[in-house]
Structure 1
Amino acid sequence: MHRISTVLLLLICFFIFSCGSDEKTESTDSEDLKVFRYNQTSGISSLDPAFARDQANIWAINQLYNGLLQLDNDLEIQPSIASKWKISQDGLRYKFTLRDDVFFHDNKCFAAGKGRRVVASDFVYSFNRIIDPETASPGSWIFSGNVREQKPFEALNDTVFIAHLKQAFRPFLSILTMQYSYVVPKEAIDMYGETFRSNPVGSGPFYFKHWEEAVNLTFLKNPNYFETANGVRLPHLDGVQVSFIENPRTAYLKFVQGELDFISGLDDSYKNDLIDKDGELQSTLIDKVIMHKLPYLNVEYLGFLLDDSKIPDNPLTNKYLRQAINYAFDREKLVRFLRNNIGKPATSGFVPPGLPSFDEEKVKGYTYDLEKARLLLQKAGYPNGEGLPVITLMTNTSYENIGVFVANQLQDVGIQVDLDLVPPAFLRELMSKSEAPFFRGSWIADYPDAESYFVVLYGKNGAPPNYTRFNNMRFNVLYEKALVTNDDEARYNTYREMDKIIIEEAPVVPLYYDEVLRFVRKEVVGLEANALNLLVLKNCDFRQKD
């Protein structure tokens, strides 16, 4: 089916002849091997779930491991290793019942090299490892502050695992779908130590076979994987091969030539080769490529510093001025001309589409309305911009075009904006020190719950993440209420009320809601996607040749 590297072919052939499973591949002809190939331009730093901090690591780790729970394509929580769960009435005790047919991959860290069954104590170990300072995991925050100090995790027996929280935190189940919370065996950590990053042992649909860093990475089919689809054991693929071509244009050409099966996102070096000005797939590729476009849990915005103790006489602490700015530029035009229609104008508040609580009918945000902008500017004490000092918008060169667009449109109502282009790291430092009165920002959800956005504006949080220093009593009360509300619809209604407060108080200017773009060769089927842009390959397959 695919031309594949000699190394990978030899590895897969070895797997086929040595595997003791009843589900052996019948042919060793490379044309019959089903190998999914993608490129990771940024490289991968670790295959340890404790270090699943960026998309490159997350995509690879997602093929090798499992957690208690998983997400479906609609970001709804589904069973994984946990077959069922129960939350106590007070929201402090989460009880999970585990499947008894999940096994770690075969590895020399186990007796006789045979992977053993995953049990509840493995989750106790894995979760404690995440919060252990010696691990230095960037994911320790998922439990820190949420679980109780003493014995936060407990295994009643091999199939019952319990997590104890210090206070109710309704998004806890969503957090347990993150790759940081995937299970690892203590035997592997003991054997490999710091080199576990390149000797991963999980329970996922694929197992690790080979990694030549900065060159290629190979996973092979786990013949003992526990999940099935329509009565067929997953995964369908024989293997996964990851390349590390640094030049995006070169990787794109490999895709066009049929040497890669998938690319995600757009780079300026090939954007116009793939999509037209309306954001649709170029007609020359329709017979070879399928484009998937779906919401991405990322909101691009402009933020106002509301702490007037840091910058005296800051006019942006005036709510009516902030509202005027929100009305004074055309988000639809911004998305069309600067983004090739990739993304949606942010006209429904701070929380983007793709989350269950999003409802554009119930939450009405800002649209382009110069008349309202001028009225609000007058109400702010600056009729037609008279007496308003020049406002400086801080951004970086990657978003200069957006800054120029907004600045030009604000001139139409008399608001003068200068751009200050600063390196991203320096801008974050200024934002953290409350030295950026008007700045461009973006926020990507860590987990599929709107709380992941509202935490950015919760008044009791410092910076990060609350770079605006927004502190609204009503908003804070609703935020804390949502954390302890077990009924989903009631919590979603609370989230919508919070978004309405953000719209009214205007601590931010939502620009657009991002979208995921994926380009897949037509012979690929079953490649799942969701608004977190996870790469899920267990259901992926290739069409049979005619």
Structure 2
Amino acid sequence: MTSLNLQKYLPVLIVSLLLLWGCKQPETVVINDAPTVTAPSDTTEQYPTADEDADFRKLVIGEYQPITSFDPLLAENGATLRALQLIYEGLVRLNANGNIIPAVAKRWKVSSDSLTYTFTLNPNIYYQDSDIFSTGTGRRLVANDVKFVFERMAKMGNPPAAAQLFWDINGFEPYYQEQHKVYEPEKRTLSGVSGIRTPNDSTVVFELSKEDPQFLKKLTTPYAVIYPREAVNSRQNSFAPVGTGPFTLSSQKADSTFIFAKSQKYHASKDIRLNRVDILSSNSESNLMRNIGTGDIHFIPELGPNTIRNVTTDAGNLKTGYTNRYSLTTRNDFYEIVIRSNPSANITAADVSRLSNLAYANTESYFGLLPDNIINPDTLSTSQQVDTTLTTKQLYSVFSDDPFARTYLGNLSKILNRQSVELGMTEFRTTTKTTDLLVTWRIPLISDSQNELSPNYPEVFRFRVYPTAMQLNVIRELNFNQYGWWLDLRGVSLPTLDKIN
């Protein structure tokens, strides 16, 4: 092998050697853990070669969590929230500095008492072409689409995460309560949310019951993106991923490969430099790292705990051997993972207290292996009691696909085993009388994923994760702001397919 070829393949060899080393380390396996996503063997469909299209540019993203739905109201993890931003836009959005900029609204004004927000829509915003429209051609976005989206947040059958963000809109709570507590539709008296008005097709007015300094920022979250009424088919219980964003969902292979094409109907399509974006999801961190090492993946928005352990120093920097080919970015804001107990299960209040003491007393058994600037426990919640011996001999946790939560529970299980206490993870994603623990998460601007449960589900332990991304150095204009769920690929560019490795 020539010195030139050795230099070319050295980074891949280093990645492979470190992966082999990492595989020898003890990996946490949670009892009864049933993976729901598998890594694809054939990662993508055939794409043009450099000879066929010299300007073709494709970005491949690797995610360790599954993309669960393209219905914005059903988003339940960071991977899904990021994917939504490829297809959809909200009234406003965030830029790389975390500032609020126009999206489907071209301007807005706020009343002097900060209770009325008036948005003027951009008249040149059209939905992507789709069979959901009678002509197959995407129609223009109008104000009633915005009203429909926000009222759908409050309707029965949808998770409360989005509704909790906009509780202060006049009439939102009464409409939400009636939708959820008056089960016979003919007995409902409210036709919509009174605090959302649409004077014409280009104007949307929100009236708040009290001042909300975060209202505009809440509108930038993926939960508040706009889609057409036609996307929702209640009879077939289906949702079509159609929006006004820079990319369209071109195809999907199983639950692990998603292919997005540049949208020619995007109002600023000339600014989009990528022809295609692929998202590959795998519950195997080593598969993702192997693929980024070979160049089959270009960007991992959030590294899992095992990958962080392998590629970072104690200070949280990228290890020598990676820096010539990769960059590492850690966000300056965190999301919290909270382990809670289920009062309807067999675990007693006394054992909840003992388990919390045990969890906080042994943080070094897990967190000591990772840099403090990436993950750390919330020391403010540390209990002052010292009793850590549980009386129960069997505990079960609700299923979680978050690798940090799973790894933490796995290490907690090892500690409990010293007391002859078994901790297992069920296949259920919701609490039952047989599940003692559940996992909730809280991300910036968005409430606890099960906030309505929080007052009644005592907290056992919480820790903070600072999302950390890894990408090839050849990628240009890949920006990050403080929010781990934020992703903007509008200005991103990278070499053509024949030059990316």
The reply to whether TM is greater than 0.5 is yes
Which string of whole-angstrom CA distances, capped at 9 and with x for unpartnered residues, describes residues 83-119 of structure 1? 3334456665432222223221233444754433222
Deviation at 1:189, TM superposition (A): 4.0
Summarize the alignment of residues 326-337 of structure 1 with structure 2, pairs less than 5 Å apart: 337=368
Q: What's the secondary structure of 2:466's corresponding residue?
A: strand
Count of aligned residue pairs for this structure pair: 423
Q: 1:476 aligns to what?
A: none
RMSD of the alignment, in Å? 4.7
Which string of whole-angstrom CA distances, capped at 9 and with x for unpartnered residues, describes residues 390-419 of structure 1? 467979673257649999xxxxxxxx9997
Summarize the alignment of residues 75-224 of structure 1 with structure 2, pairs less than 5 Å apart: 75-88=98-111, 92-110=115-133, 113-133=136-156, 136=158, 139=161, 141-142=163-164, 145-147=167-169, 148=171, 149=175, 150=190, 151-152=192-193, 153-165=196-208, 169-189=212-232, 194-197=237-240, 200-214=241-255, 216-224=257-265
Which AA in structure 1 matches 2:470?
F
Which string of whole-angstrom CA distances, capped at 9 and with x for unpartnered residues, describes residues 132-160 of structure 1? 33x64565634685441343232111221
Q: What's the secondary structure of 1:50's corresponding residue?
A: helix
Deviation at 1:428, TM superposition (A): 7.6
Q: 2:79 aligns to what?
A: 56
Deviation at 1:206, TM superposition (A): 0.9
Does the 8 Å CA contact 1:335/1:343 hold for their aligned counterparts?
Answer: no
Q: Cα distance 1:247–1:455, how it changes in 2: closer, same or farther (>3 A)?
A: closer
Which AA in structure 1 matches 2:206?
A
Which string of whole-angstrom CA distances, capped at 9 and with x for unpartnered residues, describes residues 213-254 of structure 1? 3363221112343348xxxx4322111122345543223211
Q: What's the secondary structure of 1:207's corresponding residue?
A: strand
Q: What's the secondary structure of 1:299's corresponding residue?
A: strand
The 2-side partners of 1:70 and 1:465 are apart by 32
Percent of pairs with identical residues: 19
Summarize the alignment of residues 60-79 of structure 1 with structure 2, pairs less than 5 Å apart: 60-79=83-102
Q: 1:448 aligns to what?
A: 445
Summarize the alignment of residues 265-304 of structure 1 with structure 2, pairs less than 5 Å apart: 265-267=302-304, 270-300=307-337
Deviation at 1:193, TM superposition (A): 5.7
The 2-side partners of 1:130 and 1:454 are apart by 15
Bigger Cα Rg: 1
The 2-side partners of 1:528 and 1:206 are apart by 18
Name the structure with the higher helix share: 1
Q: What's the secondary structure of 1:56's corresponding residue?
A: helix
Does the 8 Å CA contact 1:294/1:531 hold for their aligned counterparts?
Answer: yes
Summarize the alignment of residues 37-48 of structure 1 with structure 2, pairs less than 5 Å apart: 37-48=60-71
Equivalent residue for 1:421, pick from 423, 443, 454? 423
Structure 2 residue ranges without an equivalent (≥5):
1-41, 176-189, 398-405
Q: Cα distance 1:417–1:162, how it changes in 2: closer, same or farther (>3 A)?
A: farther
Deviation at 1:78, TM superposition (A): 3.3
The 2-side partners of 1:28 and 1:142 are apart by 52
The 2-side partners of 1:56 and 1:182 are apart by 16
Which AA in structure 1 matches 2:155?
D
Q: What's the secondary structure of 2:488's corresponding residue?
A: coil
Equivalent residue for 1:518, pick from 448, 459, 469? 469
Of 61-70 and 274-283, the range deviating more from structure 2: 274-283
Does the 8 Å CA contact 2:309/2:370 hold for their aligned counterparts?
Answer: no
Which AA in structure 2 matches 1:421?
L
The 2-side partners of 1:426 and 1:115 are apart by 39
Equivalent residue for 2:271, pick from 234, 238, 241? 234
Which AA in structure 1 matches 2:123?
D
Deviation at 1:521, TM superposition (A): 0.8
Q: What's the secondary structure of 2:454's corresponding residue?
A: coil
TM-score norm. by structure 2 comes to: 0.67
Deviation at 1:37, TM superposition (A): 0.8
Q: 1:338 aligns to what?
A: 369
Summarize the alignment of residues 239-388 of structure 1 with structure 2, pairs less than 5 Å apart: 239-245=276-282, 247-267=284-304, 270-300=307-337, 337-341=368-372, 343=374, 345=376
Which AA in structure 1 matches 2:146?
F
The 1-side partners of 2:134 and 2:126 are apart by 14
Q: Cα distance 1:329–1:281, how it changes in 2: closer, same or farther (>3 A)?
A: same
Structure with the larger RCO, 1 or 2 (CA within 8 Å, 6+ apart): 2
The 1-side partners of 2:84 and 2:145 are apart by 17
The 1-side partners of 2:151 and 2:375 are apart by 40
The 2-side partners of 1:440 and 1:190 are apart by 32
Does the 8 Å CA contact 1:63/1:538 hold for their aligned counterparts?
Answer: no
Does the 8 Å CA contact 2:128/2:137 hold for their aligned counterparts?
Answer: yes
Q: Cα distance 1:138–1:30, how it changes in 2: closer, same or farther (>3 A)?
A: farther
Which string of whole-angstrom CA distances, capped at 9 and with x for unpartnered residues, describes residues 473-511 of structure 1? xxxxxxxxxxxxxxxxxxxxxxxxxxxxxxxxxx8766x
Which string of whole-angstrom CA distances, capped at 9 and with x for unpartnered residues, describes residues 174-223 of structure 1? 332222321112344469964434xx221001122222333632211123
Q: Cα distance 1:443–1:113, how it changes in 2: closer, same or farther (>3 A)?
A: closer
Does the 8 Å CA contact 1:525/1:542 hold for their aligned counterparts?
Answer: yes
Does the 8 Å CA contact 1:92/1:165 hold for their aligned counterparts?
Answer: yes
The 2-side partners of 1:212 and 1:115 are apart by 24
Which AA in structure 2 matches 1:54?
N
The 2-side partners of 1:313 and 1:349 are apart by 21
Which AA in structure 1 matches 2:374?
G
Does the 8 Å CA contact 1:53/1:138 hold for their aligned counterparts?
Answer: no
Does the 8 Å CA contact 2:64/2:284 hold for their aligned counterparts?
Answer: yes
Q: 1:531 aligns to what?
A: 483
Structure 1 residue ranges without an equivalent (≥5):
11-26, 351-365, 367-372, 378-384, 408-415, 469-506
The 2-side partners of 1:62 and 1:209 are apart by 15
